[in-house]
């Protein structure tokens, strides 16, 4: 529960290290099975309240089963992390290996089950605070590692001081360093975060037309959603014509705000009237009858041009995996068509002489989408999203926290365009300069910097994550070796470690 409280919309980022300090104390002296059990309870207390927005989405007809099933599945990853952390904690520098194990356990969550569910990564608790600048150096894995290491280090420091007395001795230096070094690294990483103009600037407009607060019943209200966005676009055109707001260089619409080709003529007329290109989120009907969730560049006088089709689809939302099982828990398993995923090149589009990267809704949770766009030349990033499904829940704030992390990670301004809020304009340092309310119709306008340089995180790519996985794997392997040796009566656990008093052989013989 403590870790959940560190999530947005609250700004209590410091509770994440506190949560892992509590977990570290709970794991002290545990065997693998005990650690797995306590890790599972820790994960369940985190995911159950965090994912409560699934109830807003699905409504009472489904009951609590989808929410409970997903929460339990995600908690199983914490069970694995808890068990392995309990195993490696007796190694020298135990907090380091424990933190590596926790972050390494997040990696399979991005792929399994059903293409992964990266919601609730530790880094997403840190859109503010001292660890956020580390995103520019090592992305989400490094931010999460620093927060977890600080917490586990704090628990080790408390345990050590309880053993030797509450006064300074050399024995506390190691644990103290595992608390202090992540904090110092975060403070020092501020120097790597650049909020400068770079290669120029653009005046941008982020459109939010509003939508009915109906959860899954929004399926029957799509016409209302579209009309709201056309109405807000007309209001923007009128305000520009009357000189009440500055004419933007480009406009960003939310995810699936229109249908293509059905709404093409209407949209084209309004784009021509405004006279600037629009990046519009649309549900596109392809010639072969399939549907795709796309971001399309609509140029004045030219019509639709470049497009990007969403590649990371939401299971049970945009497509139905395990349909036979789904029929057991939902009457809607056969009521809709699956969205077809996009394939191919990174999400990079050109409009208003600007290279724009797009991460459609759910994709902002994945590291690769934004990284590939920036490496392909994106000068700013956009996140078109439709959060009206989830009511007035915390889901939209959790997603906004991800976008803020991505801004720092890639050194780019990020434009979040949501159908019903929260839309936002975010600078490269993660600062939100404009934000909408929930279930309002409004357009955000601001001037943002364009950037082309790559952060260290973009240069390193997934290597930070790979190093942490390798560290966790090495620690687990070392623990297994010690366990095997401890069970062998003719071989000591480890001569060097035994002489240093670091290994309890009885612990490994369990």
Residues with catalytic annotation?
255, 310, 361
Whole-angstrom distance, CA of residue 449 vs CA of residue 158: 45
Q: In the structure encoding, which two tokens stand for residue 368, read together?
A: 């690769």
Q: In the structure encoding, which two tokens stand for residue 113, read together?
A: 């089950």
**The dihedral of CA 25, 29, 33, 34: what is its sign?**
negative
Could you give the residue ranges of the DSSP H alpha helices within 59-200? 65-88, 94-104, 135-164, 173-188
Of 384, 397, 381, 402, the C-alpha closest to 448 is 381
**344 Cβ neighbours under 8 A, 6+ residues apart:** none
At residue 483, φ and ψ (nearest 5 deg) are -65, -45
Residue 31 neighbours by CB distance under 10 Å? 14
Q: Identify the residue whose tokens are 């020298």.
A: 92
Residue 282 neighbours by CB distance under 10 Å? 27
Q: In the structure encoding, which two tokens stand for residue 350, read together?
A: 């050109």
Whole-angstrom distance, CA of residue 422 vs CA of residue 59: 21
Whole-angstrom distance, CA of residue 209 vs CA of residue 96: 47
Q: In the structure encoding, which two tokens stand for residue 472, read together?
A: 């966790």
3-state secondary structure of 312: coil
Contact 405, 123 (CB under 8 A): yes
């Amino acid at each position: 529960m403590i870790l959940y409280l560190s999530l947005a919309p609250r700004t209590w980022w410091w509770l994440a290290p506190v949560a892992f300090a509590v977990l570290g104390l709970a794991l002290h002296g545990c065997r693998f099975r005990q650690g797995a059990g306590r890790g599972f309870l820790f994960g369940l207390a985190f995911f159950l309240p965090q994912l409560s927005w699934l109830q807003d989405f699905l409504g009472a007809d489904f009951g609590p089963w989808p929410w409970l099933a997903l929460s339990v599945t995600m908690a199983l990853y914490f069970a694995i992390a808890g068990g392995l952390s309990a195993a490696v904690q007796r190694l020298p520098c135990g907090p380091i290996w424990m933190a590596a194990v926790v972050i390494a356990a997040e990696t399979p969550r991005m792929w399994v089950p059903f293409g992964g569910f990266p919601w609730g990564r530790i880094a997403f608790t840190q859109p503010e605070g001292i660890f956020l600048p580390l995103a520019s150096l090592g992305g989400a894995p490094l931010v999460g590692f620093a927060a977890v290491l600080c917490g586990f280090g704090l628990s080790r420091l408390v345990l050590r001081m309880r053993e030797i007395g509450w006064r300074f001795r050399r024995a506390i230096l190691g644990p103290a360093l595992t608390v202090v070094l992540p904090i110092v690294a975060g403070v020092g990483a501020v120097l790597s975060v650049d909020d400068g103009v770079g290669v120029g600037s653009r005046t941008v407009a982020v459109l939010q037309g509003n939508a009915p607060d109906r959860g899954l019943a929004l399926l029957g209200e799509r016409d209302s959603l579209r009309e709201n966005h056309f109405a807000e676009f007309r209001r923007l055109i009128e305000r520009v014509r009357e000189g009440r707001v500055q004419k933007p260089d480009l406009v960003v619409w939310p995810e699936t705000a229109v249908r293509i080709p059905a709404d093409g003529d209407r949209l084209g007329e309004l784009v021509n009237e405004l006279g600037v290109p629009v990046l519009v989120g649309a549900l596109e009907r392809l010639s072969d009858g399939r549907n795709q969730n796309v971001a399309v560049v609509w140029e004045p006088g030219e019509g639709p041009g470049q497009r990007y089709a969403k590649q990371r689809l939401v299971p049970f939302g945009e497509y139905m995996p395990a349909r036979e099982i789904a029929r057991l828990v939902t009457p809607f398993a056969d009521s809709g068509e699956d969205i077809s995923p996009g394939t191919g090149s990174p999400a990079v589009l050109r409009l208003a002489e600007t290279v724009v990267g797009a991460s459609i809704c759910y994709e902002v949770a994945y590291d690769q989408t934004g990284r590939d766009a920036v490496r392909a030349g994106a000068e700013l990033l956009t996140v078109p999203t439709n959060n009206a499904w989830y009511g007035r829940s915390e889901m939209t704030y959790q997603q906004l926290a991800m976008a803020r992390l991505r801004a720092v990670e890639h050194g780019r301004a990020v434009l979040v365009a949501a159908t019903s809020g929260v839309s936002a304009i975010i600078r490269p340092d993660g600062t939100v300069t404009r934000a909408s309310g929930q279930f309002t119709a409004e357009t955000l306008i601001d001037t943002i910097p364009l950037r082309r340089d790559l952060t260290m995180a973009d240069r390193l790519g997934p290597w930070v994550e790979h190093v942490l996985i390798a560290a966790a794997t090495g620690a687990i392997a070392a623990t297994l070796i010690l366990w095997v040796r401890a069970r062998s009566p003719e071989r000591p656990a480890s001569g060097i470690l035994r002489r240093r008093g670091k290994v309890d052989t009885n612990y490994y013989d369990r």
